[in-house]
Structures are given as structure tokens and as C-alpha cells.
């Protein structure tokens, strides 16, 4: 059966849980539109995260969809990312203590890749289901963007992966994290999992994205 690769990250920055992995794990084995979700847990480490992703891409048949998930502390909504930048610039050390500054993810790679997910249709579908969502114009410059860029580069350049749709989605903190960080917005795990179900279904069935505004003034 065709597979959907869905990655999440291990906890980072001294936390003990990462909703991106909790969501991916909860959907492992879930079937949608004739495909099955395969969850992959990535280390929050520059370089190693992409090695783990490469291993998952290499074993088994060509996926129909590859989506990376990551935590965006401070966001209130599920946010499909629009574009990945070819830069690593770490504000804090990663889980291996590395803190690259202004280095390309891929030497000689293009400055950016756009998501090939139908991000507008996804946001519309999520909102219709009562799930908070917006398009994001920046995936940051930490390991999330690193994986997003690395993924899109592989999908664009590796022979066996061309034409595979892919992208990255940031999710809010969990309420249990917010309970330890006063003022932090959150979204419950069940809502996040339900959002990813809607998102995967939309990504599999909508071929041409909506022409609906979702931009930002700045």
C-alpha cells in the first residue's frame, strides 16, 4: 500500500515532550485515501535529522506524500509553511550542542524552495472544521527549516522522488507545555491530530491549490 511519510521531532531545548512527534506517532498506520501513514522520529540535530529522513525515504517504496512536523512555541495555530530558506542559523544549540550560524543547508542549493502542498486549500479545510490554521511565511532558521529545505531539495533533485509532494507544518505547543510556561498559547493533542488528518486528506485530494489570499503585510 502507498505510504505517507510523516516526520516529527524529539523534544528539544530542555523540554520532555514535542507535539510534532506525538502527532506523527498517533497517526502511524492511519490509512487515508488508499495510503498509510509511516511516522518517523527525527533527532533535533542539524545534519543527523536529514540522515534519519534519508534512511526513511530509502527503505520501502516511493512515498506519495512527505510532510515534516515541528513545534513552533508561541504560535496559536496549525501553520503550513510556504517556503524553506537555504540557511542554518541557530539561536540556541541543537540537541548535539551544535549551533551553526549563516551556513547553507545545501551548498550551492537554491536560495529557497516553495512547499508543494496546497497550503491555501489546507488552511481553508482546517478552518471549516473549526481548527485554527494560517499559512506561515517563515519556518525560521533552526532544525525545522533545515529539515524542510533538505526535504524539498531531495524531492526536487533525487531521481526516485521527483513529483512527490512535500512540505512542512508547524504546530503549537501542547496545553501541558503551556502549563509550565505561563502565557504560552497551546492546542490540545487531539485537535492537532485531527488537524493533521484533515491536512493529509486535503494534500492527497486537492491537485490545484485555491487562489485565495493568505498573505501577510510583513
Are 155 and 116 in contact by the 8 Å Cβ rule? The answer is: yes
Alpha helices in 67-215 (DSSP H): 119-128, 143-157, 175-178, 189-205
- Tell which one of 33, 55, 111, 157 touches a second copy (CB under 8 A): 111
To a second copy, the closest distance from the beta carbon of 6 in angstroms equals 19
Separation CA 180–CA 182 (nearest Å) = 6
Distance of closest approach, residue 1 Cβ to a second copy, in angstroms: 32
Nearest-5° Cα angle at 101, 99 to 106: 100
Q: Which of 51, 114, 157, 158 binds a second copy (CB under 8 A)?
A: 114
**Helix (H/G/I), strand (E/B), else coil: 214:** coil
Is residue 162 close enough to count as binding a second copy by CB under 8 A?
no
Instruction: Write out the three cell numbers for 165.
Output: 509532494
What's the grid cell of residue 52?
534519519
Please identify which of the residues 22, 81, 146, 153 carries the catalytic annotation.
81
Query: Which residues are catalytically annotated?
Result: 81, 144, 170
Query: Footprint of a second copy on this chain (CB under 8 A)?
Result: 13, 70-77, 82-83, 85, 87-92, 99, 101-102, 110-114, 120, 126-127, 129-134, 137-142, 144, 170, 175-176, 178-180, 182-188, 190-191, 209, 211-218
Amino acid at each position: 500500500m502507498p505510504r505517507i511519510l510523516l516526520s516529527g521531532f524529539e523534544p528539544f531545548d530542555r523540554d520532555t515532550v514535542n507535539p510534532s512527534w506525538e502527532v506523527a506517532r498517533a497517526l502511524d498506520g492511519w490509512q487515508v485515501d488508499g495510503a498509510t501513514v509511516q511516522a518517523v522520529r527525527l533527532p533535533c540535530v542539524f545534519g543527523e535529522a536529514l540522515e534519519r529522513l534519508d534512511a526513511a525515504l530509502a527503505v520501502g517504496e516511493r512515498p506519495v506524500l512527505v510532510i515534516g512536523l515541528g513545534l513552533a512555541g508561541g504560535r496559536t495555530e496549525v501553520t503550513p509553511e510556504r517556503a524553506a530558506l537555504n540557511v542554518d542559523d541557530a539561536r540556541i544549540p541543537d540537541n548535539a550542542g551544535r549551533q551553526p550560524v549563516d551556513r547553507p543547508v545545501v551548498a550551492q542549493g537554491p536560495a529557497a524552495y516553495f512547499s508543494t502542498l496546497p497550503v491555501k486549500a489546507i488552511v481553508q479545510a482546517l478552518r471549516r472544521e473549526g481548527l485554527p490554521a494560517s499559512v506561515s511565511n517563515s519556518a525560521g532558521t533552526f532544525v525545522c527549516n533545515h529539515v524542510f529545505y533538505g526535504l524539498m531539495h531531495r524531492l526536487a533533485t533525487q531521481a526516485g522522488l521527483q513529483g512527490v509532494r512535500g512540505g512542512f507544518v508547524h504546530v503549537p505547543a501542547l496545553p501541558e507545555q503551556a502549563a509550565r510556561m505561563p502565557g504560552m498559547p497551546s492546542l490540545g493533542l487531539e485537535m492537532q491530530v485531527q488537524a493533521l488528518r484533515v491536512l493529509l486528506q486535503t494534500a492527497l485530494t486537492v491537485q490545484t491549490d485555491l487562489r485565495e489570499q493568505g498573505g501577510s503585510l510583513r
